[in-house]
Every structure is written in structure tokens, then in C-alpha cells.
Amino acid sequence: MKLNRRIHLFTLVILLIFPSCRKNEVNIPVKKEVIDGVVHLKNPEQPLKGHITFEIERIRELNPYDTEEFGLRSINFKRDSDGEVMLYYSTGSEVHRFSPDDTYLGNLTRQGQGPGEFPNNRILNPFYVNNQIFVTGDFKLARFEKNGNLINQRKTGQYPRIFVDENRFFIEKSERRDGSRTKSIILINMNSETFGNFQEIIFFQKENVGWIGKKGSSDGYTHPWGVPDILYTFDGFNQRMFVCLNTEYKIYVKNLNGETEYVVERPYNKVNLTEGDKKKILTSYFQSEPDKWEIDAFPDTLVAIKNIKSLPNGYLAVYRVAGINKYEIDIFNPDGFYVYSVSPLEDIVLDVVKFYDFGFARIKTKDDGFMVYEEYAIQNLPEIFGK
């Protein structure tokens, strides 16, 4: 009798302690619908935890021009988890390394055709991969130790966009088929030592995206706010790919076998355009008066999504288009639930930053035209940026 009473009291205590948790689980307003065997998460228009603005603090500024050996005028960057940074120009041949305390570590690569060398005016892209450095360009891959020593070099025949591990990377591939242009996002596996026998998995494929062409001509253009295209980002925390067509609010969450685990959806309002809007948008983009065919070919609505970016701990940021040159950031948790809406910052363009466990990093152009590397801590979302 005493044992039964203790069990009853324990159960009552548990129910009193956790009523809000049970209520949240029951009342989460996310509908699940199975379409063709795949779960679609139909999120509400309003976020579960509300609208916020990032509370930020600048925690690092690296001025590479304090180093005499650094001479690049335009730069991009990659950052490792330990704080080491690589600065490079995307069509150059140099990759400059800086330690977490901003000490200059030297130029990793140089111009040339030999091992660990790259020509100018090609696509150059370095990566931090499992405590090593990979540099790709001119259809080859040079692998370095973290201290800068060259390990080996091999032919890839591709331009890797995202590395999953030492052997696997994602590429974009465009092909012309029967008069139309097909774009694919493909995972390449280099386990085979023989070039040309790499394994491929197609993750997403769509015709007539990424480009608006003039009929009967090779002329054409692209535009991030108006031209249909494929967007994608890799979630290293959960080893999965987020991919979508930017004209609809449906983000496909895929495992590394290319299988769709679920689809994230949210209602959105299309932004309609007048002919005057189109002309103004294209004039700003081209920095010149657009041709009539360019205006006529521009879609009557803006895209639904400007960009998507992976966040720490499996979260996802979706840059939802809210107007001409306007976006809001929708944040989804690892289960695909819409939890926050984030307003843009006044002085920092969040569309071009890269997110890390502390917050984000960016390249800033100063008043004198020179560029510096900056890091900012995000202080009000500890479940995401909790370092």
C-alpha cells in the first residue's frame, strides 16, 4: 500500500513539474502531411518563439594589410573551427593563412602549374576538411597538412562547392538538353583512384533555372531576386543537405544517400512587379539601361527565397523575400519547425555573412577601399550560438 502511494505521489510530482512541456508537444501548430511517401511539415506563418533581432558584439578584426606580404585588393575567406582564417581571391592563385591570434602564417599556394600551384584567372577555392586544408582550382585538388605542408595532389575534373569529408564533395552541373538548360546538384565520391570513375548521386535537378536567355541568341542574364534557381547548403552537424527551388517555399532535407527525409514549408506572400519595377531592378543590377527583351523576360514576381544558410546545431536560416530588395530571415530548428523570424540589421548585410558557433564572420570594406575580416558574437540565441 505504501509502495502504491509513493508511485502515485511520484507520478503527480512529474505531472506538476512538466505541464508546459506536455502542452507544447500537443499544441505545436505544425501540420504533417505525407505526399508521395514523404513527410511535409506545414509550418504556420508566425514563428513559434517570436520575432527577434540579433544582438551582436564585434569580437575580432583582422587587417591583413598589416602584413607586408599580403597584397590582395579583393578577398574572400574561410574559417576553421579553431579560429584559423584563410584569405584569398576567388580567381587568383594565393591563399594566405592567419592564426587565431591574427599572426600571419604565410602564403599556402602560389602561381604556377606544379604541385600545390594554381594559375590566375581560374576558380580558386580553399577548404578546411578534418584538420587538413584542401585547395581546388583548375580541375585539381591539392591536399595540405594543417601546418601547410603539401601531402598530395590529384585531378578532379570538377569545381567542388562543398566538401563533406576527404572523399566526397558537392558540385553544380549545367547541361543543355534538347534546347533547354538542366542544372543539377550532385554529390561526388572520389573513393575510386581512377579519374572518371567517381561515384555520383544527384540530389536535385531542374530545367531552365539559373539563367534567362534571349530567344535565338546566346545572350542572357541571371538575377538573385528574380531568376529561378536552385539553392542549397550543407548541415555538417547532422550530415544532411538542405536544397530548394527559390521560386517556392519548400526546402528538401536530404541525407547523404540523396533520400528526402522531409520537406519544410511555410506560407509566404508573392511580391508582384510592374514593368517599372522590373526596369528599376535591372538598371540597378546591370548599372546601365536594360534592353526591352531583358525587361519583358524578367518574371512578374520575385523569387520566394533569396538564400538559405546552415546554422550551428542543425538549425537552418531561410532568407524569405519580403519586398523589392527586402528579406526577413526565418529560422527552423533541427526538426523542421519554424521557431524565429529575424529582422535584418541596419549596418550589416546578413545575406553575405558566414555563420559559426559563436555568431558570424564577414569581409568589410572600409572607407579607404581596403578590406578587413571581422567576427561578431550573437548573444541572444544561446541554443544556436552557444559557444
Predicted confidence (pLDDT) at residue 154 exceeds the cutoff of 50: yes
Query: Looking at residue 180, what is its pLDDT?
Result: 79
CB 300 within 8 A of CB 273: yes
Per-residue model confidence (pLDDT) at position 193:
65
What pLDDT score was predicted for residue 196? 73
Q: What is the mean pLDDT of residues 84-101?
A: 97
CA geometry: angle 263, 266, 269, nearest 5 deg: 135
> Residue with C-alpha cell 548599372?
287
DSSP state of 343: P
End-to-end CA distance of the chain: 50
The arithmetic mean of pLDDT across residues 340-354, rounded, is 95
* pLDDT confidence tier of residue 27, bands split at 50, 70 and 90: low
pLDDT for 15 beyond 60: no
With 0.75 as the threshold, say if the pTM is over it. yes
DSSP letter, residue 279:
H
Q: Per-residue pLDDT for 22 more than 70? A: no
pLDDT of residue 11: 41
162-216 pLDDT, tens digit per residue, is: 999 999 999 999 988 777 789 999 999 998 667 678 999 999 999 999 999 888 8
| 3-state percent helix, strand, coil for the chain, nearest multiple of 5 | 15, 45, 45
Virtual torsion, Cα 350, 352, 72, 108, nearest 10 deg? 110
The answer to whether the CB of 79 falls within 8 A of the CB of 85 is yes
The three three-digit cell numbers of residue 268, written as one number: 509566404
Report CA torsion sign: 66, 69, 73, 78. Answer: negative
- Residues 161, 172 contacting (CB under 8 angstroms): yes
Residue 33 has pLDDT above 50, yes or no: yes
Residue 23 has pLDDT above 60, yes or no: no
Burial of 144 (0-12, 13-18, 19+ CB in 10 A): buried
Contact 329, 318 (CB under 8 A): yes
25 pLDDT above the threshold of 80: no
How far apart are the C-alpha atoms of 237 and 307, rounded to whole Å? 20
For 77, the grid coordinates are 575567406
* Nearest to 345, CA basis, from 373, 312, 314, 380: 380
The confidence score (pLDDT) of residue 9 equals 41
Q: Is residue 16 within a helix (H) or strand (E), and if so which, with residue range?
A: helix 2-17
DSSP 288: S
CA dihedral 113, 117, 122, 128 (to 10 degrees): 150
Q: pLDDT digits over 223-246, tens only? A: 999 999 999 999 999 999 999 999
CATH class belonging to 30-378? mainly beta
What pLDDT score was predicted for residue 42? 98
Residue 131 pLDDT > 80: yes
Average pLDDT for residues 268-290, to the nearest whole number? 96
Please state, rounded to an integer, the average pLDDT across all residues of the chain.
Answer: 91
Give the residue-averaged pLDDT of 99-106: 97
Residue 24 has pLDDT above 70, yes or no: no
Q: Is 68 left (phi over 0), alpha (psi -120 to 50) or beta?
A: alpha
- What the block records as the C-alpha cell of 299 is 518574371
What is the sign, positive or negative, of the torsion defined by CA atoms of 11, 16, 18, 20?
Answer: positive
Q: If you write DSSP's letter for every residue of 64-118 in order, what string do you get? A: GGGSTT---SS-EEEE-TTS-EEEE-TTSS-EEEE-TT--EEEE--EESSSTTEE
Whether residue 200 contacts residue 186, with contact meaning beta carbons closer than 8 Å, is answered with yes
- Residues with Cβ within 8 Å of residue 227, at least 6 apart in sequence: 209, 210, 211, 212, 221, 299, 303
Q: What is the pLDDT of residue 337?
A: 98
